[in-house]
Structure 1
Amino acid sequence: MRAMSSALQLTGALLAQQLQALRRNHALEHATLHVLAQHFPQALLAGRADARGFVLYGSVPGAAVQAAAHSALQRLRSGEQQLALHPNCGTNLVAAGLLAALAVGLATAGSARSRLARLLRVPLLAGLLPLAMLAARPLGYAAQRSLTTSSAMGALRIHSVTRTERAGWVRHRVQTRAAAAGAALQSIALPDSAAAGNETQS
């Protein structure tokens, strides 16, 4: 039982660590896009984050991405939390889709058997859809702020920035590291048998 409890604790700590890294990298990706947009307003840029960093797509110099990422990290640490949120984030698109589906569901709920009854629901749907679109952005921002990003950078640092180009597509891989990546795991005690086994192997 003790071994199982320690394994569950370890798994939970690893998952929490990966989720926190993903949220921080997502925030840093957004902030980097904001900084790049200030210097390259005409550039078409997109990005995606993971637990190891983030990837940006767009034809901009690698040195500019590196400088923007470092600037974004510093500005987030200085308290510019709004940089962690982006209007074109997929979270906003998901929020818009969910609200649009809800609007359609509300407008078509119930049994309208006659053609006239169905036609009378069109104005209701036409009124609900714009309201759903208006509510989508603040809802998306709220989801970004509380669920998908974290502007608290902690010990996060930029490890490397690599630019590659293939078939006209430019890809920038920004890898991050957390200086205290294993700190959350050090407080978890291994069972005596596992600890003894590790000592024997060493």
Structure 2
Amino acid sequence: MNTFTDAKSSQSIFTFFDFDSLIQPTKNQDTEIVKQLAFIPGIKDILMLRQVHALEHATVWVLSELNNTAQNSTDQLLGGLSTEQGFYLYGHINQATLHSAVKIALQRLIEGEWRLAIHPRCGTNISVGFLLAAGLTVGFHLLLPRGPIEQFFGLGLAATTAAYLAPDVGMLAQRYLTTAIPFNLAVENIKMTRDVWGQTAHFIAVRWIESSDNQTSKRQH
């Protein structure tokens, strides 16, 4: 998953849906899903990717908050790319600030700040926009007369409707399909590296932990 955002991204999109009223996952739900569906190849990797994606979004939100608190410039662009091993974060970021942001983001997600897992500039929204545009274009093409004027009108209507719906539908797609609360993630390390395209980035490596490991960790603390 890919995310590109600036710190001044508007949160007005959240006013369309009441995300707090949606059914939230239980702490053991994801672990149970993996156990029940273990026969499906890659099911654990898919779930881990969803959790990493959520942590990526939350880290970007927290970095924006920390930058505002420190009265630093918040106009810089941050880019993110999630994998099942962790996520890349692109941009000029202070290493100590990043360490703090990841820790805070993970804790706040686990404690119930579900909105941090959703971001209006996520690549999911772009993908949803393309799918909506394609679907609506085909639909209007079949429904409207074959005349060039009618077809051109249908194309414009499809594009306009898709642009209007994409942010809200994309948010729901993120909530239910491409992100999951990272109950089963622990941060291993954060380091500077290069991605597969040779770009310099911070890589936040994570590992999967079972619910029993979570309980043991809490007792030790």
Instruction: Tell whether the 8 Å contact from 1:157 to 1:176 is kept in structure 2 after alignment.
Output: yes
Consecutive unaligned residues in structure 2, runs of 5 or more: 1-35, 68-72, 214-221
Structure 1 gaps of 5+ residues are: 1-8, 184-202
For each residue in 1:24-52, what CA deviation from the matched residue of structure 2 results, as whole angstroms up to 9, or x when unmatched? 11100011111112315212111111111
2:189 corresponds to 1:156: no
Q: For 1:48, what is the secondary structure of its paired residue?
A: strand
CA-CA distance at 1:14 after TM superposition: 6.4
Percent of aligned pairs with the same amino acid: 34
Query: Following the alignment from structure 1 to structure 2, what is the Cα–Cα distance between the partners of residues 16 and 180?
Result: 15
TM norm structure 1 = 0.73
- In the superposition, relative to structure 1, how do residues 182 and 20 fare at CA in structure 2: closer, same or farther (>3 Å)? farther
Specify which structure has the higher proportion of helix. Answer: 1
Separation in 1 of the partners of 2:201 and 2:131? 31
Q: What is the CA distance between 1:165 and its match in structure 2? A: 7.1
DSSP 3-state at the match of 1:154? coil
Runs of 4 or more above 4 Å deviation: 110-113
Q: 2:109 aligns with which of 61, 76, 83?
A: 76
Cα 1:10–1:98, aligned 2, differ >3 Å: closer, same or farther? closer
Contact 1:59 1:170 in 2 (8 A): no
* Pairwise CA distance, 1:125: 2.7
Q: Is the CA contact (8 Å cut-off) linking 1:43 and 1:60 kept in structure 2?
A: no
Matched, 1:26 2:53: yes
Aligned length: 170
Asked if the contact 1:62/1:163 (under 8 Å) is kept, the reply is: no
1:120 aligns with 2:150: yes
Counterpart residue number, 1:5: none
Hey, what's the Cα distance between the residues in 2 that align with 1:181 and 1:23?
17
SS in structure 2 at match of 1:142: helix
In the alignment, which of 45, 55, 61 is matched to residue 88 of structure 2?
55
Q: 1:182 to 1:16 in 2, by over 3 A?
A: farther
Deviation, 1:11, is: 5.9
Instruction: Measure the CA separation in 2 of the matches of 1:120 and 1:17.
Output: 48
The Cα of 1:179 is off from its aligned counterpart by: 3.0
